[in-house]
Structure 1
Amino acid sequence: MVQGYQFIDINAKGEGIVVAAFDNQVAYCTQAGATVTARVVAALRDLLERGEPGQLFDALRNWPGAPLADALPLRLAGGIHALHLKGAEPALAAIYEDRAGVDDAAIVAAAILAHEAELLPWLDGPPQTNEAGRSSNFIAAMLWLASKGLPPRFQCLEIGSSAGINLMIDRYRYDLAGVQVGPEPGAMGFKPEWQGNPPPAQQIEIVSTKGCDVAPVDLTDPDQALRLKAYIWPEHTVRFERMAAAIAEAGKSPPDLVQMNAADFIEAELAKPQVAGTTRVLMHSIVWQYVPEDQQARVTQAMEAAGAMATPERPLAWIALEANRVLHLHELVVRYWPGGGEPVMLARAHPHGASIDWRA
């Protein structure tokens, strides 16, 4: 549990819920050791509560959607971080260098006043929290699926791929409690802090990867890469190093990424022939909350219908690393067909891949 959280329906709407969303984000950032991001979000919360005027604050107060589900605080925090990253608002350095004794609300208010037109578009879409470290969870789940007798050759489909960093999953090296997977040394290496038994030691192969996003990010475009960096919490320096490695890797060979919504993409991909001896996998991480409910229903229906037709030679699996909104934890959950398709919680995991608590 995260101390300070208010237990509110994630789909709740209204001005009071907007402030609660900012309070919850402060609590989560503080719990995660992200003190700078907590300061920025707390400053925004304070400005909201005191009735700070302006078009941007009016947009926040009158938010038509569900601010918790929409991750509204992180949308704006990303925009403010972008101002700092490109040096557009030097006064923000006092916050991002975590200096004491400064008026955070005054600094943030001045930044918004000076750059309101630039910040408003940051409210138009959800945060792009593309993080390579999450791929460790996908690999662990594939090891587990292979141990259940599914073909260890995986055709991977990802929704909410953002820049497609996790679509380059086969280019990375993994050490999962001593179980080694991937090329040596790999474009990146991951060794998450591990609790519990190691995952099954299996030989697996990623045959192909393809993903979709409603607003895909081109890592080779400096402006788009900056936007992605802005969503990284500044305390997490290793994530900036990973982003630089991902940008370099995409420059060598870009991931297979198309602009489509999740439901259209999955329906289209599942309709294609599947090669015998491969396991087709839907995978996603920290994205389900951003998928509209009607699309969630379509994806689920398409997967279950395809699962009913799955065979041992052409099985189907669904790997999800998503938030448990009751416990405020992130869980790695797998379904597979043939095999019943019942959800199996394999692990509780850090949302950025720092740790995996294996429960399988």
Structure 2
Amino acid sequence: MDLVAAVRQQAGGCARLGSPMYAGLCDRIADDLEAGGPSAALLADHRDAPGPDAVALRLLGSVHRLVLERRAGALAAYYPSVGGTWEPDAGWTAFRDLLADQPGAVAEWLDRPPQTNEVGRATALMAGLRTLGGPVRLFEIGSSAGLLLLADHYRYVAEDGSAWGPAASPVVLRPAWTGPAPRGEPRIVERVGSDVMPVDPRSTEGRLTLTAYVWPDQLHRHERLRGALDLAARVPYEVRRQGASELVDSIEPADGATTVLWHSVMWQYLPGEEQAAVTARIGELGAAATPSAPFAHLELEPQRPRPGAPHEFLVVLQTWPGGERRVLGTAAGHGVPTRCD
């Protein structure tokens, strides 16, 4: 897939996920690429990038960062994340002018992958943990800033009005679940994540990074990110600078708690050999599990529910001893809501 087609595909994804601003910008960027405009020169070194590199989101995140830093001039007036109002024609003109006037500043983030630590995906994680119940040792690969390791500190309001989690939480996910939500009471006793490029949510740079990759017209996502950042400053957890296989190799089942390996919307970015290594280690951990030291693999990844069907964000839980695999439901791309089957 060439870059123009990839950017147009991203436009469709943004539209489906509720961002008309980014859907329109991606279509305009694709037109500008074809016309040889400022985006063509800026993205010349990325023409052959594979689709998973998400070049459009890299560009949009870099520009949003300049807006947040008050370095984008007139463009800020059109960004809802800083109090502006998006206007498609005038907004695109200001966006294109920024690419032409400050290509060096925009290019600063083009070589780094988007870091979207989407808090809403905690609905899928907690659906799995409530299915398991009891003490949980939670391990996450592809953690970014590790905000999902704080899932038990968030408030979840189901479609039927029932709620779970601290009533005073600064993060409220509504509707967290549709359908028959699980009713267990998990208690997270250990929280460890890993990422090859971890983000420190307690630093100014880390908070800027996470905010820049949240789409500017989705203010509900900005609100829950702010709440999660507040919790991250107060709740201890660990995110190691490690690859996925390195963290998984370090895990062992332990008596008295369910050891859970969790990941969300990151599997496609792992090289094939690392996917194979992680999968093999999951098999080893399952074989080593016992009734007193169970192991579970919980994931939210785009998968086909059956051959030939479209991809969906499936919430899948596999538990050992026994290796039973269950599809618990499906989630929206950013997690809210998760439909429990």
Same fold (TM over 0.5): yes
1:64-103 matches, cutoff 5 A = 66-67=50-51, 69-93=52-76, 95-96=78-79, 97-102=85-90
Given that 1:284 and 1:320 are in contact with CA atoms closer than 8 Å, whether structure 2 keeps it comes out as yes
1:43-192 matches, cutoff 5 A = 43-52=28-37, 55-63=41-49, 66-67=50-51, 69-93=52-76, 95-96=78-79, 97-102=85-90, 104=92, 106-146=93-133, 152-176=134-158, 177=160, 180-192=163-175
Equivalent position of 1:5 in the other structure: none
Pair 1:47–1:269, CA change in 2 (3 A)? same
Pair 1:125–1:335, CA change in 2 (3 A)? farther
1:315-326 matches, cutoff 5 A = 315-324=294-303
1:215-230 matches, cutoff 5 A = 215-230=197-212
Cα distance, 1:118 vs. partner?
Answer: 2.5
Given that 1:175 and 1:190 are in contact with CA atoms closer than 8 Å, whether structure 2 keeps it comes out as yes
2:317 paired with 1:338: no
2:271 paired with 1:283: no
Cα distance, 1:115 vs. partner?
Answer: 2.6
Task: Provide the C-alpha distance between the structure 1 equivalents of 2:162 and 2:244, rounded to a whole number of angstroms.
Answer: 32
Cα distance, 1:90 vs. partner?
Answer: 2.4
Equivalent position of 1:295 in the other structure: 274
Q: Secondary structure at the match of 2:109?
A: helix
Q: Percent identity?
A: 35
Q: TM-score, normalised by structure 2?
A: 0.89
Given that 1:157 and 1:282 are in contact with CA atoms closer than 8 Å, whether structure 2 keeps it comes out as yes
Given that 1:179 and 1:198 are in contact with CA atoms closer than 8 Å, whether structure 2 keeps it comes out as no
Equivalent position of 1:314 in the other structure: 293
Task: Provide the C-alpha distance between the structure 1 equivalents of 2:185 and 2:108, rounded to a whole number of angstroms.
Answer: 45
2:184 paired with 1:198: no
Q: TM-score, normalised by structure 1?
A: 0.85
> Structure 1 unaligned runs (5+)?
1-15, 147-151
Task: Provide the C-alpha distance between the structure 1 equivalents of 2:321 and 2:2, rounded to a whole number of angstroms.
Answer: 42
Equivalent position of 1:263 in the other structure: 245
Q: Secondary structure at the match of 1:228?
A: helix
Equivalent position of 2:3 in the other structure: 18
Task: Provide the C-alpha distance between the structure 2 equivalents of 1:117 and 1:101, rounded to a whole number of angstroms.
Answer: 24
Q: Secondary structure at the match of 1:330?
A: strand
Equivalent position of 2:82 in the other structure: none
Give 2:3's aligned amino acid. Answer: V
Cα distance, 1:28 vs. partner?
Answer: 1.5
Cα distance, 1:225 vs. partner?
Answer: 1.0
Given that 2:116 and 2:214 are in contact with CA atoms closer than 8 Å, whether structure 1 keeps it comes out as yes
* Alpha-carbon RMSD: 2.1
Give 1:241's aligned amino acid. Answer: E
Give 1:57's aligned amino acid. Answer: L
- 1:224-265: CA deviation from partner (whole Å, max 9, x where unpaired): 211110110112112211222222222224431111111111
Given that 1:134 and 1:352 are in contact with CA atoms closer than 8 Å, whether structure 2 keeps it comes out as yes
Q: Secondary structure at the match of 1:122?
A: coil
Given that 1:192 and 1:353 are in contact with CA atoms closer than 8 Å, whether structure 2 keeps it comes out as no
Pair 1:138–1:263, CA change in 2 (3 A)? same
Equivalent position of 2:13 in the other structure: 28
